[in-house]
Structure 1
Amino acid sequence: MCDTIVMVTAENEMGLDPGKARGSNMCRSLSKYAPVFLVLALSGLIFLLRNIHTLERLNCQTVSTFYNLQNSLHSAFTPEGPSSLYRNQTYCAHLGQEPSPDELLEEHYLLDSISWPEPPARPISLSRTSDPTHSLFAILPAEGGKEWRVGNQMEALVQIHDFQGRPKHHGGDFLLARLHSPELGAGVAGQVLDHRNGFYSALFPLLWEGTSRVEVTLVHSSEAVAVLRRLREERPDRVFFKSLFRSGFLSETTVCNLCLPAGQQPLCNYTDLRTGEPWYCYKPKLLGCNTRINHFKGGYQKHLLTNKEALLFQSGVNIKVAIHASGSNSITVLPEEKAEVESSSARSESVRVLPSGYYFQGSWRPLGEYAMHQFNDSSAITQCLKGKVLYMYGDSTVRQWFEYLNAFVPELKEFNLHSPKNVGPYLAVDSTHNIMLQYRCHGPPIRFSTVASSEMRYVANELDGLSGGPDTVVVLSVWAHFSTFPVEVYIRRLRHIRRAVLRLLDRAPGTKVVVRSANLQALDPEVSLYNSDWFSLQLDGVLRAMFKGLDVLLVDAWEMTAAHHLPHALHPPPTIVKNMIDTMLTHICSQKKKS
């Protein structure tokens, strides 16, 4: 500045601007006080260095407050959740360890086994999509015009029409079928075969005498299924997650998921070292990756559909709407005759269906190697579980089992582990009869409310930590939180769990392993985009194939909810849960019977 003033003074001395002569005097005055300013600055620096620790302690909370305020102001002007994610149908599937050739071969087989017909590629028009009110089904006559008898198989033929009443000529619709008798408390799920020409067959085994009614439901049109498939492959971010990072008074929340683009900002890599299961969070701006303290559901992405696509998901119009019969929807079944049984058994097995079980008088009757036993009082359950340890791993649908047993058996006393409600872990013990029940949720992705990072454990790792043995029961239910991801993600998770199960059974052959399948649930336009029964059906097909042939019990929650008269719910009502638990206890405590 003084140099400038000197230049101006020189110009003045040269006669350019006599009015600026005061600049030279100002510079001389400033130069006179320069030593004083230097002494003051050095004194302030010495004071700051001597008291910096105190200042840090005093201002840490202030900094955190201002930083949190900054975050709040920023979030007020930005959309909730991740701004944009790299979306590719193979991106999620191949995070983490590269699959081996054998794993890729298995993956291709599993994906082929759940392949679904696609509708013709054309602009979406609601009038040309499947309409349950215009569609019809008809019960086909018994073979040879005979009467229906127990042991026969009955077929209902379904024809799908669009909203203008025109028959459709391609498949891909998602249908459910049930044969039931409210008077007898009986019900069985039908198997739906897609002929891919607008016609479908619903096949039912006839398992009880009396009058029964057929029920056929359109869950989603083929056009809606195509939209769901696209969302699953291209929008794995439509449910997003977050974690809180904290150190002292500083805290920050960032977005987490299986799929996060590395190009936007640095990532914290929480890939599990033993299984290779990937998980990432955006790195906090002020804190390190090792300061993560919890995990929680961040929310749901909105505005996923175009206006035309949204018309495919309307409650009471094309989501879980009944299809009516063109004639009678009921049949009368007579007692079986030996000749009928022999003739029916000679038919091609390819057209015969055998469900896992059916309801009669409100109780589930499995069609397998065990004679079902009803555990209607707590003493029977206590006697069955005496001396046993039950480890339950998975989502909230198996947490229901813990809650049911803990409430129904008074001898079980739950320990207060100060766990978050509905999250766990939970522990209950009957010290008199030496019974222990434990529940723990599976690792991410999981949409629970706040879960401590230390409690985020993968099921495969937990199984590897068990000794096992004849007094150990393991119950697994892993499906509901994977519906928003490509199926490859679920295949990888189940593969790790299956390997851990095999290791457990190898070192402790007497261990009982129970796998709970997916179940049907209530759907509306919003739930359909995240938790549709179509997503669950696809995962259920993978689960059955992955555990087929292993020494495990599959509790068929899908058929147990499809065959029951109560409305579908993500968490089935107590009467269905009881039948599931009776199935498990029968497996644990009863002797095998002839199939």
Structure 2
Amino acid sequence: MTAIMKARVCTRKEFSAIFVFLAVFVFTLLLRNTDNLKEKESPRSRTSSEAGSSDKSQHKVNSTVIVPKVSSEPDMHHSFCTFQPRSPEDALEERLLLDSIAWPETPPLSDPLSLDQTSDPAHSTFTILPGRTGGQWHVGDQLEVMIKMSDFHGRPKKSGGDFLVARLHNQKLGAGVVGQVVDHHNGSYSAVFSLLWEGDAQVEVMLVHPHEAIQVLNRLNSEQPDRIYFKSVFQSGSLSETTFCNVCLRPTQPLCNYTDLRTGEPWFCYKPKKLSCDARINHAMGGFNQDLNANEDKLFQSGVNLKVSIQSSGLAIFIVLPKTKDQSEVKSSIVTSGPSGYYYQSVWRALDGTTVHQFNNASAITQCLKGKVVHMYGDSTVRQFYEYLNTALPDLKEFDLHSPKKAGPYISLDYANNILVTSRFHGPPIRIVVVSTSELRYIANELDGVIGGTNTVVVLGVWAHFGTFPMEIYIRRLQNIRRAVVRLLNRSPGTLVVIRTGNLKALPLPVSLTNSDWHSLQCNNVLKTMFKGLNVHLIDAWEMVLAHHLPHDLHPPPPIIKNMIDVLLSHISSDGPLTLEAPTHAR
């Protein structure tokens, strides 16, 4: 035997060591895979007023429903989400975006959870800090408010992470502006306000969520992105089956893959037992699995710790004096940006360089839109714009496409003035009525079909249906839309693109768990960063709702929508019928 052959011979002792190593490795691998696939057999309760709505119109003989097995055990979404590969550039941007919106780190939840140790708005206070001239404030100054958070025993909190919002308002003047909240990570916060009108001003600070509730929302979005589920009917002749669908489905059954070939947007349904994946005919909301750990629901109590005002330790109302002639501008050192606008006399006045006009009648709106094609894509908060124009313009006639109510698509035409307005819902996930699969369109693909030009307006709004998913899914959607917007502006630079941000809303328990204001704020921050530097305009719905005195609503009331429409039309027509000058005392 040669030296080389001898070198290749393992002794029995060496062979045994290698065998043991391989056995341990295989056992570890099997154990890990078993943990990833482990599911509880008992399904969670499903509660939804819309559950079963897609089946009411089905009168097929042999109808079956395939129900997903859903586990309440921790299972990171990455283990059962299947996406197409990302480009290195997209992956890097995603990482940077996630880092930029990372919420302050806070102590882990106690086990069992003790509500007494969480932030209590009733025991928390805010204090107006003295002005630079000894308790006096002038138009052009900045007001700073110190907020001290305490728990239910009145003990000062030692960590940050609470979600607070603040506004300054005067309802008689129809005035309001949003405050910029800064977390000092020690239980105290600052709210900084720009003083923009003369007269009374009242500070309002609100706890939207204690940091413990945000930890729960983070956990739910990571471990249970399928807690809102969707369904589709598959049909062939007299046979129909209904299965559940989602962006991410746990691998308990074979899947139908409906990932969009152009954008890579993922969508899956459980495969029917007897029908092919090609037999899918519709999409609908399925239901909601409310699965909280012990006592976690106590973190989402209206009137206790969910959207509750914090009281002032002193006066909450003060007087803003006129701006002095020699007054120098002094800005706070703890905020880097100011508000995008404010209300005065119930009219929105932009501070981002946009000159806002008022369009108070059909004639003014028609003159602005004459010769225009306006395409609206997004959720129901964008559909509000479409509905507003159809109501405000008697000559704008909607063509009956026999579309499902609230789902669309819609199209309206003013033939005499050559005005065309369309509205279409964005692609899945969408929590609406039954929609034909032929009408499920992704915005990016729709934008690629728009010719564009100086007479074309595109309005976008995507946010409200992503509240149960990890932020990576929303980022992927925006990246695809942004690429399509860039392509549109490259081929037709004169196209006007306007994007509506998300807004605050009423938050009963189910809504707070599936569409929280915290998640909407995170979406807004991502959206603003991603479209920064592009030739697009924003309608800051977040600030326009928060600064207004009317209650928060997913679908803001008419006075707020009217102001949003004025901003939109002002972007369309720089020669509006009435230019709003800032009040002389606010200059």
Query: What SS does structure 2 have at the residue aligned with 1:496?
Result: helix
> Which residue does the alignment assign to 1:277?
265
Provide the C-alpha distance between the structure 2 equivalents of 1:452 and 1:359, rounded to a whole number of angstroms: 42
| Structure-to-structure mapping, 1:156-195, within 5 angstroms | 156-195=145-184
| Structure-to-structure mapping, 1:526-565, within 5 angstroms | 526-565=510-549
> Which residue does the alignment assign to 1:386?
370
The change in CA–CA distance for 1:350 and 1:195 in structure 2 (over 3 A counts) is: closer
> Which residue does the alignment assign to 1:484?
468
Provide the C-alpha distance between the structure 1 equivalents of 2:286 and 2:478, rounded to a whole number of angstroms: 25
The change in CA–CA distance for 1:468 and 1:93 in structure 2 (over 3 A counts) is: farther
Q: How many residues align?
A: 519
Query: What SS does structure 2 have at the residue aligned with 1:281?
Result: strand
Alignment partner of 1:239 out of 225, 228, 247: 228
Aligned AA for 2:430?
Answer: I
* Corresponding position: 1:461 with 2:428: no
> Which residue does the alignment assign to 2:186?
197
Aligned AA for 2:368?
Answer: C
Q: Once superposed, what is the RMSD of the aligned Cα atoms?
A: 2.0
Alignment partner of 1:329 out of 298, 301, 316: 316
Provide the C-alpha distance between the structure 1 equivalents of 2:398 and 2:366, rounded to a whole number of angstroms: 15
Query: What SS does structure 2 have at the residue aligned with 1:133?
Result: helix
Query: What SS does structure 1 have at the residue aligned with 2:136?
Result: coil
Query: What SS does structure 1 have at the residue aligned with 2:343?
Result: strand
How far 1:370 sits from its partner (Å)? 2.3
Contact preservation (8 Å) 1:153, 1:352: no
> Which residue does the alignment assign to 1:113?
100
> Which residue does the alignment assign to 1:589?
573
| Structure-to-structure mapping, 1:559-578, within 5 angstroms | 559-578=543-562
> Which residue does the alignment assign to 1:137?
126
Aligned AA for 1:465?
Answer: G
Provide the C-alpha distance between the structure 2 equivalents of 1:147 and 1:93, rounded to a whole number of angstroms: 58
Alignment partner of 1:313 out of 300, 312, 315: 300
Aligned AA for 1:360?
Answer: Y
Query: What SS does structure 2 have at the residue aligned with 1:219?
Result: strand
Provide the C-alpha distance between the structure 2 equivalents of 1:289 and 1:407, rounded to a whole number of angstroms: 41
The change in CA–CA distance for 1:370 and 1:128 in structure 2 (over 3 A counts) is: same
Provide the C-alpha distance between the structure 1 equivalents of 2:392 and 2:281, rounded to a whole number of angstroms: 35
Where in structure 2 are there 5+ consecutive unaligned residues?
1-58, 582-586
Q: CA-to-partner distance for each residue in 1:80-100, whole Å, 9 max, x for gaps?
A: 754449974452896322122
Query: What SS does structure 2 have at the residue aligned with 1:298?
Result: strand
Contact preservation (8 Å) 1:247, 1:291: yes
Alignment partner of 2:62 out of 63, 67, 91: 67
Contact preservation (8 Å) 1:85, 1:261: no
* Corresponding position: 1:295 with 2:283: yes
Contact preservation (8 Å) 2:142, 2:193: yes
> Which residue does the alignment assign to 1:44?
none
How far 1:112 sits from its partner (Å)? 1.1
Provide the C-alpha distance between the structure 1 equivalents of 2:200 and 2:407, rounded to a whole number of angstroms: 45
How far 1:349 sits from its partner (Å)? 6.3
Contact preservation (8 Å) 2:80, 2:248: no
The change in CA–CA distance for 1:92 and 1:483 in structure 2 (over 3 A counts) is: farther
Contact preservation (8 Å) 1:406, 1:414: yes
The change in CA–CA distance for 1:276 and 1:65 in structure 2 (over 3 A counts) is: closer
* Corresponding position: 1:154 with 2:152: no
* Corresponding position: 1:230 with 2:219: yes
Provide the C-alpha distance between the structure 2 equivalents of 1:201 and 1:369, rounded to a whole number of angstroms: 27
* Corresponding position: 1:499 with 2:487: no
How far 1:335 sits from its partner (Å)? 1.1
Query: What SS does structure 1 have at the residue aligned with 2:240?
Result: strand
TM, length-normalised to structure 2? 0.86
Provide the C-alpha distance between the structure 1 equivalents of 2:135 and 2:367, rounded to a whole number of angstroms: 48
Contact preservation (8 Å) 2:77, 2:223: no
TM, length-normalised to structure 1? 0.84
Where in structure 1 are there 5+ consecutive unaligned residues?
1-63
Contact preservation (8 Å) 1:515, 1:553: yes
> Which residue does the alignment assign to 1:419?
403
Provide the C-alpha distance between the structure 2 equivalents of 1:146 and 1:336, rounded to a whole number of angstroms: 15
Provide the C-alpha distance between the structure 2 equivalents of 1:343 and 1:418, rounded to a whole number of angstroms: 58
For the pair shown, the structure with the greater C-alpha radius of gyration is: 1
How far 1:527 sits from its partner (Å)? 1.3
